[in-house]
Structure 1
């Protein structure tokens, strides 16, 4: 038996704003959408076009209050091949929320307060 990663899910308050954030800041594109006729919820899957792993954005129509993220100790992480260009994009977009220069990483904040770690691509041998 073998398990492989498929997707991670986060809940969002403003679906279009979140889609725009993930497109502009991480280059993700919508790969599929599930929306029942009654419209109570919408699931949007976003992918990087390289791996099969996806981010599922869940929008609940009747939810109005922000999600409680607790201490926000969980996060997503993205590897980038041009750390300097990524940093400049995120700085311009005003989404950097934490930097660790010693480790050579930083975090950005999505519209709902989820942290996303940005790490430089490393050669793996």
Structure 2
């Protein structure tokens, strides 16, 4: 009866975030909604493999960094190119935490959100 549609991250610099998600994870814009008064922009990113999207919300009047609390929440991606992804993320300098015992690692986006990378 229900299925996932999207998850939201609020971002301070939309262009910087779009560049990060394209470069780090290969996500691309699937739709955009802009307020008529310019007060917000919503950009939905997809991976071409399903309907689930990541919504990036930019608010014109927001200038202070978002409080992410204890950063216990995260978004996770599975990849069949784990070693290549790890090398790329290492070169980008975005790896925040590695857990070799579990075979996973986490990267951080420009706003400090954590993203888990999992091998197939």
Over the aligned positions, Cα root-mean-square deviation in angstroms equals 0.4
What whole-Å deviation, never above 9, does each CA across 1:80-109 have from its counterpart, x for those lacking one? Answer: 001100000000100000000000000000
Q: Quote the residue 1:63 is aligned against.
A: 62
C-alpha separation in 1, matches of 2:64 and 2:81: 36
Task: For 1:51-90, list aligned pairs within 5 A.
Answer: 51-90=50-89
What is the CA-CA distance between 1:37 and the residue it aligns to? 1.7
CA distance in 2, matches of 1:73, 1:36: 31
> Structure 1: how far apart are the matches of 2:92 and 2:4?
30
Task: Return the alpha-carbon distance in structure 1 between the equivalents of residues 9 and 35 of structure 2.
Answer: 19
C-alpha distance in 2, partners of 1:51/1:78? Answer: 13
Q: Under a length normalisation based on structure 1, what TM-score does the superposition of the two structures give?
A: 0.95
Q: Partners in 2 of 1:96 and 1:4 — Cα distance? A: 30
Distance 1:78 1:54 in 2: 12
Match of 2:112 in 1: 113
Instruction: Kindly state the Cα deviation for residue 36 of structure 1 after the two structures are TM-superposed.
Output: 1.6
- Structure 2: 5+ residue runs without aligned partners? none
> What's the secondary structure of 1:77's corresponding residue?
strand
Displacement over 3 Å in runs of 4+? none
